[in-house]
Structure 1
Amino acid sequence: MERGADIVLRGKVDFLNVYVYSKDMDKKVDRCERVVGIPKKDAPEYIDRQVMQRKIYYSTFSSIERGKMSEYDLCINTDTFTVDSLGMEKCAEIVKVAL
């Protein structure tokens, strides 16, 4: 589901509400540099801005607190995975098994 899809679909169709997150800023910075192409020195500011924009977007359309674990069917902490693409493949496998 893309951001906010759970709000639109709730009560209309069955779906698995998944929250993929990281608390490790160093890993976020590495991933940001690799995936988005933002230089490491600029990545923390970019990440903080993205987090704030997502929080504002979600709170605009929902009374649910974004990132509140009890609101999701499955939460995946990517800090436990490697920094390469294998980590995202593991996330996808976990979601597939949960379905």
Structure 2
Amino acid sequence: MKMQDHVKTVLKNDSQADLGCGTLVVNLFAGLAEVAGTRQIHLDWKSGTAEVLRIQLGQICPSIVKLLSLSAIAIEHEVVDDTMLVCEGAEVNVFPPVSGG
């Protein structure tokens, strides 16, 4: 099953999702998006920590588990630790590790 197909099964009705009500849109960047095969994942979400979010993303897309453990999660433009509460409708971005010289 392709990642895009699996993501659609996460929502009860992907085409009519109300992004502000019980849904979380997670933006993936760089190599993380490449491995996942998508730049966005839509989740049914009420509330939970960033750690719970990592676990749920890994369950949806096992191919990104290793990168997720090394990635930074930003909520509303601020990098947070795994204990931070992620509320429904929040802007969530996940950045894999970067290197440069």
Band of TM-score, shorter chain = under 0.3
Which protein has the larger Cα radius of gyration, Structure 1 or Structure 2?
Answer: 1
TM norm structure 1: 0.26
Structure ranking higher in strand proportion: 2
Q: RCO higher in 1 or 2 (8 Å CA, sep ≥ 6)?
A: 1
Structure ranking higher in helix proportion: 1
